[in-house]
Structures are given as C-alpha cells and as structure tokens.
C-alpha cells in the first residue's frame, strides 16, 4: 500500500472522519465503520485533504484536462485539489456547477474553467451514483468527455446489485473510478497496530455479507 493511503486513513481517524462502532447506512445496513467527509471542516484539514487527492491523482496517472466538482460537496474538493496539484507542479483548470441557473451576469450553470477535453469528476464517496450521473450529463452536454471519477474512500460494498457502487458507475458510464483509499487499504491498515486490529473482524464479517462481487 503506497504510504499516502495509510497516511490518509490515519488522518481520517485523527479527524474523526473515519470512526468505528455501529452505524446505519442509507441502505439500512448496520456498518462497523462510518466515513463522514463533512468533518474535514477547517482550513488545515481541507488543505491536507486536497494534498491527498492530488497524490492519488498523480499516483494513478489519470489523463485529464479539467477538474470538475459537482455541487455542493465537490466544490471545495475541486478547489483544494487544484491548489495542491499546482503546488506539485501540475496546474490544471477547475470548474463547478450551480444547482440552479444564474439569470444575471454571465448566467448559466457553470463557474470556472470551460468544460473542454477530458474532465475528471471529484467527490467524497459514491453512494447511489446520482451525483456522477448528473456530472456526466453536464460534461457531455458541453461537448467534453468524462475521464473518470476520483473519490476519497471506496467502501467496495454492493450497490443496487452484486457490483459495488463504484463498479456500477464504471459499467454505466464507461469511465474508471479511482480512490485515495479503499476497503482493502483499510483492512491492511487495521493490521498495522494492536489498537486498530480490534475492529478488523467486524469489518471482515460485514464485507462477507455486503461486499461487492468482482465484475
């Protein structure tokens, strides 16, 4: 596991973004862990989060021209990641959408760079895939092509069928989904210290029930 993935998981635990216990998911499942990216809620945390996204993007070698952050959660993620990428030597344009069209000034739904070429969508997680579908529609409507999706954590559990939500997005839109870290990385991480290993068995059991089947 690349160091940044382990560092990201420790960062998420330190910020109490990643917690262990018993949590009810939107799907009604009782999960032994919970990831709430909304708790990256101060300047330093957002700066560090952007740096982790940038490291994941650079490590994956994703070919893209513009970074797109879907409203609303994707907006600060796109901004922070664009800044972090620039600091790493890669200056990329970024853009985000409005939920409602502006009827004065420049008008329209988009703010920032023009959607042109290959567009990388950035978000925190993929649940039902609604945000990705809306983003892909916006991108293609403007004559550009989605290059992929980058998220913070891939839970790797079943979505509507036997595939994970990320796999469903890949199949539905023909684009890859990347993540800073995945459930595989989390299980590896839990084995690195005795204080974390206590949570491993519950997550393994949860995965045996709700884990996605490889496509």
Looking at the annotation, which residues are catalytic?
Answer: 102, 104
Locate 172 and state its tokens: 């539905």
């Amino acid at each position: 596991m690349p160091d940044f993935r382990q560092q990201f998981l420790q960062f998420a635990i330190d910020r109490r973004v990643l917690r262990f216990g018993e949590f009810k998911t939107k799907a009604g499942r009782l999960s032994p862990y919970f990831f709430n990216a909304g708790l990256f809620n101060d300047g330093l945390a957002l700066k560090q989060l952007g740096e982790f996204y940038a490291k994941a993007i650079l490590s994956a070698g994703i070919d893209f021209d513009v970074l797109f952050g879907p409203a609303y959660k994707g907006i600060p993620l796109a901004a922070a990641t664009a800044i972090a990428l620039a600091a790493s030597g890669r200056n990329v344009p970024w853009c985000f959408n409005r939920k409602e069209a502006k009827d004065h000034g420049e008008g329209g739904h988009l703010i920032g760079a023009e959607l042109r070429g290959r567009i990388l969508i950035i978000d925190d997680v993929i649940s039902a895939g609604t945000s990705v579908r809306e983003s892909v529609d916006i991108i293609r409507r403007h004559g550009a092509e989605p290059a992929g999706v980058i998220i913070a954590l891939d839970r790797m559990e079943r979505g509507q069928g036997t595939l994970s939500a990320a796999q469903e997005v890949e199949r539905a839109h023909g684009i890859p989904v990347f993540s800073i870290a995945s459930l595989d990385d989390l299980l590896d991480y839990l084995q690195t210290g005795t204080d974390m290993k206590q949570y491993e068995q519950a997550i393994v059991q949860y995965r045996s029930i709700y884990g996605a089947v490889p496509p």
